[in-house]
Amino acid sequence: MIKNRLHFFLLALMLLLLSACTKVWHTAQYDYTANRLDSTAVYEAQIQDMIQPYKIKLDKEMNEVIATCPEDMSKQGPESMLGNWMSDVLYDKAAELSDVPIDFAMQNTGGIRIPMLRKGDITKGKIFELMPFDNSLVVVHIDKALLMTFMERVARSNGWPVSKGFYMKIKNKKVAEIQINGEELTDRIYNVALPDYIANGGSDCPFLKGCDRTIYPVLLRDMFVERATRDKVITAKKEGRIVN
């Protein structure tokens, strides 16, 4: 009995010593470098060679001049030349494809990815910079109440790019007056052309998510390329579509 106890004691002691001797891996030191890849960095030839065939194909496509722009076109709101041109292209395409008459077309200012289209030759690559996202066309069919919710949202951002025939006055980031083709809003269904991003609730428009809609599988970017190629000139007028 005593012998057993001694055995147990020895065993426990051994285990204790063993565990005290166990070594672990400590995380001892950190050293951090943020390597900025500036113009002094070296290029790896093998990678350059891999990029080259893609670059040649891309440059050929992208460097093609498709139109000219006679004057600088900013996207700066509430109303802008660039926003007007893009919204009119959206409107015309929707009007061409839709069975119902389109009331107006709108898009978010943030969806225009360059601050300005500069005067001069416009390449296809520039249109890609303007609209890199694969956004497509949606026509939403909304009643007056939902349209007003939408327009109050737009007024909070001091207006978004909109197509011809639309007039909105914004006062203190709230809608003061709206006319569509010279008419006040009435209790009817409005057909509004939008990028799918907005129609799906993007840019703080969750109220549009479930609404009645027609989806067109045509990319906004392709519409802009098509129109610029056809007209050879990209231009627009500011005519007081949105004022504040």
Task: Return the range that interacts with other proteins (CB under 8 A); candidates 8-16, 41-49, 162-170, 235-243.
Answer: 41-49
Query: Is residue 187 a contact residue for other proteins (CB under 8 A)?
Result: no
Measure the CA–CA gap between 233 and 85, rounded to whole angstroms: 11
Three-state DSSP class for residue 180: strand
- Closest contact distance (angstroms) between CB of 192 and other proteins is 19
Torsion-angle region of residue 238: left (phi > 0), alpha (psi -120 to 50) or beta?
A: beta
Size of the site for other proteins (CB under 8 A): 46
Three-state DSSP class for residue 222: helix
Q: Which is nearer to other proteins, 5 or 36 (CB)?
A: 36
The correct pick among 39, 184, 186, 210 for binding other proteins (CB under 8 A) is 39
The correct pick among 1, 2, 17, 42 for binding other proteins (CB under 8 A) is 42
Q: In this structure, are residues 137 and 220 in contact, taking their beta carbons and an 8 Å threshold?
A: yes
Query: Is residue 1 a contact residue for other proteins (CB under 8 A)?
Result: no
The upper half-sphere exposure of residue 119, i.e. CA atoms within 13 Å in the direction of its Cβ, equals: 3
Q: E-strand spans in 75-135? A: 104-105, 116-117, 120-123
Interhelix angle 220-231/81-97, nearest 10 degrees = 100
Task: List phi, psi (to 5°) of 37.
Answer: -90, 80
- Closest contact distance (angstroms) between CB of 58 and other proteins is 6
Contacts of residue 127, Cβ cutoff 8 Å, sequence gap at least 6: 66, 221, 224, 225, 228
- Contacts with other proteins in 191-230 (CB under 8 A)? 196, 200-202, 206
Query: Is residue 165 a contact residue for other proteins (CB under 8 A)?
Result: no
Q: Which is nearer to other proteins, 30 or 99 (CB)?
A: 30
The correct pick among 3, 4, 18, 38 for binding other proteins (CB under 8 A) is 38
The correct pick among 5, 54, 186, 239 for binding other proteins (CB under 8 A) is 54
The upper half-sphere exposure of residue 100, i.e. CA atoms within 13 Å in the direction of its Cβ, equals: 15
10 Å CB burial of residue 130 (0-12, 13-18, 19+) is buried
Q: Which is nearer to other proteins, 79 or 196 (CB)?
A: 196
Q: Which is nearer to other proteins, 40 or 172 (CB)?
A: 40
Query: Is residue 133 a contact residue for other proteins (CB under 8 A)?
Result: yes
Query: Is residue 51 a contact residue for other proteins (CB under 8 A)?
Result: yes
Query: Is residue 17 a contact residue for other proteins (CB under 8 A)?
Result: no
Q: Which residues bind other proteins (CB under 8 A)?
A: 20-39, 41-48, 50-51, 54-55, 57-58, 61-62, 125, 128, 132-134, 196, 200-202, 206
